[in-house]
Structure 1
Amino acid sequence: MPLVEEIRRQFPILHRQVRKGVPLVYLDSAATSQKPLQVIETMQRFYQLMNANIHRGVHTLAEEATAAYEKARDKVASFIGATSSNEVIYTRNTTEAINLVANSWGRKFLHPGDVIILTEMEHHSNLVPWQMLASEKGLRLEFIPVREDFLLDLDAYRQLLDLRPKLVAFTHMSNVLGTINPAKEIIRLAHEVGALTLVDGAQSVPHFPVNVQDLDADFVAFSAHKMCGPTGIGILYGKQEILDKMPPFLGGGDMIKKVYLRDFVPNSLPHKFEAGTPAIAEAIGLGAAVDFLQEVGMDWIHTHEQEITAYALERLSEVPGLKFFGPEVRYKGGVISFTMQGVHPHDVAQILDREGIAVRAGHHCAMPLHDKFHIPATTRASFYLYSSKEEVDKLVAGLEKVLSLFG
């Protein structure tokens, strides 16, 4: 079993000082994770030794780059349990992956009056694309409520299914509450009424084992930068029989088999959805990140995060005036959002930054969820495989300093 100290040694940024004598305490992994040397060096080697465009060239560099790019796709497919690498589409991020589904599948298969079910805890990335499509096509959006215990109201969901939705799209884990939703049950119930499902896996795939076949999800979207990989690349998983029926999302190079002056023939999967020169180095870096996570072990990562979260909640409860937003530890991942009585979340985050502690303050791209609880913003501490109990202790000490400053 890997020790946190051994893991932390592989992340150079965790050993820097944010100002003289103030070491970094990074508690913002829900926004983006830090990168291990294994990923950094893999991308550097690509640029040093094999930088070339892919799929088009027959020279050595092009063939090496293409092989590394597609090998990374194979790694991702294996990591999430896809039946084929053809079901793994490279995108820029989770947001683009969801927009791809909305603009390709949604535009072709949804019609005025059709129902899409979402939840009240969605990130804007899984709200706005559907709002835009609903406005364009006259669709109806319905929402699974969040209960007072910060879990989804599945009884209300079952009632909403009587509307015979065409799609149920939901976050696997809330980036604000940390709530881990019962994805397998939500998907099963959706399929019983003939709906497709889209899972926002941005906060789940990096943190605990996710097998798309076991879930029986139709689409899953996630980002490399939240799972120790680089920014600028994400993944859309889709069942092949569904992706085959969807039209291309973007037009240009590499997504075609044949182009005429007035028409074109799209490429086969997965290239049909990957127009233009892609993020080659980033894809290869994602492959290295997958290797790293598998070496550590996804089960270990999940267990470690739960232990850190439980410890953090216990320690933070010692700080007067904090109000927490999220369910019991057994239902949540490594995210703790809170408010401090009498102090704005941005002030909390700014003072913590003076102590070298990086947290996030704001609505976390989930404004409707904050509106539900009648608050403009929260402060969020989020953990990952490299987070330590010592960092939690520093967070508590920092919050006590906030209290002392604000009386």
Structure 2
Amino acid sequence: MHIRRLVPDHLESSPCSPCSFHYDPFKKSSFQSYIFKSALLCHHQITMDTSKYRKDFPILNTEDGPTYLDSACMTLRPQVVIDAINEYYTKYPACGGRSVHKLSWQVTEGFEMARDSLRRLMGAESSSEIVFTRNTTEGMNMVANGLGLGKGDKVLTSDKEHNSNVVPWHHLAKYKGINYQVVPAKDNYFFDLEALKEMIDSNTKLVSFVHTSNLDGNTNPAKDIIEICHDKGVKVLMDTAQSAPHKELNVVDLDVDFAAASAHKFCGPSGMGLLYGKYDELKELIPTYVGGSTVVSTSYEGYELLPPPSCFEAGLQDYAGAIGAGAAAEYVMGVGRDSISKHENKLNVLLTKELEDLDGLSIVGPEVSQRGGICSFNLEGWDSTDVAMHLDKKYNIAIRSGMHCVHSWFNSRGIDGSARASIYFYNNEQDITAFTNAIKDTLSG
């Protein structure tokens, strides 16, 4: 008996599984979500208008709203992202890719539209190269555990890495016997390409490096690093948590094999991230978690995995989070990351000019043109955490303190951490003035 399946035009049933659907972004869709409303609202913008964007962020429009300079840790969320998340829970709170009622179709389509938004954020060729994760750390671990690394295989990183790009390699060294080594910096802050060339040998399987540092905002020469590695047959994994939100990114142009990012760094919900991988590389990567949603079918004798990205997305997904991440990606792309980068650097120049000559203040990092929107600093006689608590309590200014999850760099240099102010497109000159005046007042007091 032939059973007719009524599948909406823009969703095609996967040939592998009746419970998995493929989204075709070029077919007409009736789905209306805040993701695409945000795109329409933002993509016509040519120049930065901070005052207008600030209106989009509820916390910045409250009577006691903070001077928020902690965006390298967590960005604020615009109303359009909050609405996109709420829309899922109030209008179509169902499973995606399983049931066939209209609510489920809406979830599936919203989920895949969000994936395509993240594809464009990263500059990838296909949405099949984007895997939803919980955060950058999970994406890095998926690659670390999925490459099948074993005894004697060498992995190299820079010497200024977040713990998400340090601990996985120590862990594999402890339990699998890999050889984890660090490429020493040049002049304390800069990636040494010549040292990289010397350290790559026939056992080197992967070079994993941070694109833009969360410690000091410096951006590593990604294209040069990747070319050196590929010339020697070495794969590359890149941490783009601090670059994807702040500068135009094109993983195809860079030719990077894998890249990971977090939605909470680009105005999206916490607990959502992505892993980009060249499709051929993803096909060879061993999934960390398997189960529901990852298989074509199972039997008592075995199973057949679905192709990427489905084989990496085990179990019921965070649909609201994914849709919120898609809305955030559209919003940030609408603002324009070239404009964001220029705006951040302009404000950081203003901030640095006010602080750099103050007695008792030292800046951690290179000169300001190479620090993006980040200024890490220490005050003589102050613990960095005390600085952050003081600014919060007395001035309602939010910054970060401590080692910023870059313990290895600080520990190797005998530094107890730093205070860190980090800028995003919703910050303005008034924020910078409030911050620098508070620092001057603190030092004079």
TM-score relative to the length of structure 1: 0.95
The residue type equivalent to 1:291 in the other structure is: E
Mapped pair 1:77 → 2:111: no
Residue in 1 aligned with 2:17?
none
Residue in 2 aligned with 1:135?
174
Please identify the structure whose Cα radius of gyration is greater: 2
The residue type equivalent to 1:392 in the other structure is: I
Residue in 1 aligned with 2:231?
192
Residue in 1 aligned with 2:8?
none
Q: Which has the higher mean CA deviation after the structures are superposed, 77-86 or 226-235?
A: 77-86
Q: Which runs of 5+ in 2 are unaligned?
A: 1-46
Residue in 1 aligned with 2:58?
12
Q: Alpha-carbon deviation of 1:146?
A: 2.2
- Kept in 2, the 8 Å contact 1:349–1:358? The answer is yes
**Counterpart of 1:295 in 2: which secondary structure?**
helix
Q: Alpha-carbon deviation of 1:340?
A: 0.6
The residue type equivalent to 2:93 in the other structure is: N
Mapped pair 1:170 → 2:209: yes
Q: Alpha-carbon deviation of 1:290?
A: 1.3
The residue type equivalent to 1:50 in the other structure is: Y
Residue in 2 aligned with 1:382?
422
Within-5 A mapping of 1:51-130: 51-105=93-147, 108=148, 110-130=149-169
Q: Alpha-carbon deviation of 1:111?
A: 2.7
Taking only aligned residues, the RMSD between alpha carbons, in angstroms, comes to 1.3
Q: Alpha-carbon deviation of 1:163?
A: 5.6
Q: Which has the higher mean CA deviation after the structures are superposed, 330-339 or 223-232?
A: 330-339
- Kept in 2, the 8 Å contact 1:170–1:198? The answer is yes
Q: Alpha-carbon deviation of 1:320?
A: 2.2
Residue in 2 aligned with 1:291?
330
Q: Alpha-carbon deviation of 1:240?
A: 0.5
Residue in 2 aligned with 1:308?
347
Mapped pair 1:33 → 2:75: yes
Within-5 A mapping of 1:249-288: 249-288=288-327
Mapped pair 1:43 → 2:98: no
Deviations 1:234-283 (A, max 9, x none): 00000110111122210221011111234211111110000011110111
- Kept in 2, the 8 Å contact 1:165–1:193? The answer is no
Deviations 1:4-48 (A, max 9, x none): 111111111122355xxxx41000000010011111111111111
- Kept in 2, the 8 Å contact 1:319–1:399? The answer is no
- Kept in 1, the 8 Å contact 2:349–2:369? The answer is no
- Kept in 2, the 8 Å contact 1:357–1:395? The answer is yes
Match of 1:145 among 184, 191, 194: 184
Cα distance change on mapping 1:328 and 1:221 into 2, 3 Å: same
- Kept in 2, the 8 Å contact 1:167–1:198? The answer is yes
Q: Distance in 2 between matches of 1:330 and 1:298?
A: 17
Residue in 2 aligned with 1:245?
284
Deviations 1:293-338 (A, max 9, x none): 1211111011111111111111112432111111123322211111
The residue type equivalent to 2:354 in the other structure is: R
Q: Distance in 2 between matches of 1:163 and 1:245?
A: 20
Mapped pair 1:155 → 2:197: no
Residue in 2 aligned with 1:3?
49
Q: Distance in 1 between matches of 2:442 and 2:305?
A: 58
Q: Alpha-carbon deviation of 1:162?
A: 4.0
Equivalenced residue count is 398
Q: Distance in 1 between matches of 2:371 and 2:203?
A: 30
Q: Alpha-carbon deviation of 1:224?
A: 0.3
The residue type equivalent to 1:394 in the other structure is: A
Q: Distance in 2 between matches of 1:284 and 1:356?
A: 32
**Counterpart of 1:190 in 2: which secondary structure?**
helix
Q: Which has the higher mean CA deviation after the structures are superposed, 135-144 or 271-280?
A: 135-144
Match of 1:358 among 392, 398, 417: 398
Q: Alpha-carbon deviation of 1:400?
A: 2.2
Q: Alpha-carbon deviation of 1:164?
A: 5.0
- Kept in 1, the 8 Å contact 2:152–2:203? The answer is no
Mapped pair 1:235 → 2:274: yes
Residue in 1 aligned with 2:38?
none
Within-5 A mapping of 1:200-239: 200-239=239-278
The residue type equivalent to 2:420 in the other structure is: R
- Kept in 2, the 8 Å contact 1:150–1:325? The answer is no
Q: Distance in 2 between matches of 1:47 and 1:319?
A: 51
Within-5 A mapping of 1:388-403: 388-403=428-443
Percent identity reads: 39
TM-score relative to the length of structure 2: 0.87
Q: Distance in 2 between matches of 1:390 and 1:373?
A: 35
Q: Distance in 1 between matches of 2:400 and 2:185?
A: 22
Q: Distance in 2 between matches of 1:379 and 1:310?
A: 17
Q: Distance in 1 between matches of 2:424 and 2:292?
A: 38
- Kept in 2, the 8 Å contact 1:172–1:183? The answer is yes
- Kept in 2, the 8 Å contact 1:177–1:336? The answer is yes
